[in-house]
Amino acid sequence: MINAPVLTPVLLNAARVLVPFVISFSVGMLIAPFLTHFLYKFRAWKKRGGKGNGMGDKNGTPLFDELHKEREVSTPRMGGLLVWGGVLVTVAGLMLLGTIFDGPFSLLNFVNRGQTWLPLTALVVGGLTGFLDDFLEITRSNGGLRLRWRLSIVAVFGAFAGWWFYAKLGVSSVGLPFIGSLQLGPLFILFFVFVTLAIYASGVIDGIDGLAGGVFAIIFMAYAAIGFAQNQIALAGFAATVAGAVFAFLWFNVPPARFYLSETGSMALTLALAVTAFSADTLGGGVGVSVLPIIAFPLTATVVTNAIQVIAKKVFKKKVFRIAPIHHHFEAIGWPPYKVTMRYWIITIMGSIFGIALALLK
């Protein structure tokens, strides 16, 4: 008789990460047709194209409007519901199966206080706030939730999350490659708020079919790898589950996009990414935050080029880029959207590999 092979701890942990990834992708693929029907039935798209409609740009954005004027008023928003909805369905299903059936199913449940409560909370808070913004966007002609309110919510959540790490989890430092921990003391909370706001600002990368989906999916897979290497299997399972749901969204977001990620998706992902990066830092004996600008280089470029453009316009009364952030600049100078998207995917893959290497070497 041939004995069944016994899984080693490494293989078992790998299964605990990869199985939720596959499940969340499958759940997302199943949700998509129903979401599509709902969004098109209720015409869940912007009533007026462009950015000069309550988004903080009173002077309008003629170049951007020219590039995107038709798609913005005919393609539904709220595609991000597939992402965080798929994650929550997967989480609930695994928790239920783990309760009913002991054994392997209980091992797949990655929800715990130390590693995943806060990332899940970030995903839900961002998703619901973004959903409100999208709802107002598609039901009014003067924009969604005002930017200052969204920034306030992000800042308050960042302060709460930073306090949770500092007071509840005993984290007051960040890891630096080859150097070690940098102690921040109570300033850790302010640093957490700053990083969360910066990552949220990168959410405007959702502007070309397939761009944001591919970038975020790769980034979360990178943090799944880092969490796995740190033996934070629950955190790795969460990151992989998010990546699986984003890949399902990407299936329907490649050109021509069936729906857009929009604020309910980008806000959920950026808040969850901020908490995930900090969770993969000193909490796991690693350097999750300091490698974030490398792993998420397209997000970094998005924030930096936006800042450069704003400063140049206010101080020097002239623009550095034809359109900011820079992925729209590439469109404006003649790059086809698919070329921008695929090159961003390549850059994210390369940055993720380099960032993972730094995180492992530390």
* pLDDT for the residue numbered 324: 85
Q: How far apart are CA 194 and CA 212, in angstroms?
A: 22
Classify 355 as helix, strand or coil.
Answer: helix
Q: Which of 345, 308, 336, 338 is nearest to 323 (CA)?
A: 308
pLDDT at position 263 over 90: yes
pTM of model > 0.75: yes
Q: Which residues contact 148 (CB under 8 A, 6 or more apart)?
A: none
pLDDT at position 116 over 90: yes
Asked if 79 and 249 touch (Cβ cutoff 8 Å), the reply is yes
Structure tokens at 243: 């990546």
* pLDDT for the residue numbered 231: 94
Q: Which residue has the higher pLDDT, 192 or 283?
A: 192
* Average pLDDT value over all residues in the chain: 90
Radius of gyration of the chain (CA): 20
Asked if 287 and 106 touch (Cβ cutoff 8 Å), the reply is no
**Average pLDDT for residues 283-299, to the nearest whole number?**
95
Quick: pLDDT tens for 307-345: 999 999 998 889 999 988 999 999 999 999 999 999 999
**Average pLDDT for residues 25-30, to the nearest whole number?**
98
**Average pLDDT for residues 54-63, to the nearest whole number?**
49
> Around Cβ 148, how many Cβ atoms within 10 Å?
9
How would you label 245-282 residue by residue, b for 16+ Cβ within 10 Å and e otherwise?
bbbbbbbbbeeebbbbbbbbbbbbbbbbbbbbbbbbbb
Which segment of 18-22, 107-111, 115-119, 307-311 scores lowest on mean pLDDT? 107-111
Give the helix ranges, DSSP H, for the chain: 9-41, 62-72, 80-100, 104-108, 117-139, 147-163, 187-201, 211-229, 233-253, 262-279, 292-295, 297-311, 326-332, 337-361
Asked if 78 and 170 touch (Cβ cutoff 8 Å), the reply is no
Q: Which of 333, 322, 326, 126 is nearest to 208 (CA)?
A: 326
Using left for φ > 0, alpha for ψ between -120 and 50, and beta otherwise, residue 76 falls in: beta
**Average pLDDT for residues 237-244, to the nearest whole number?**
98
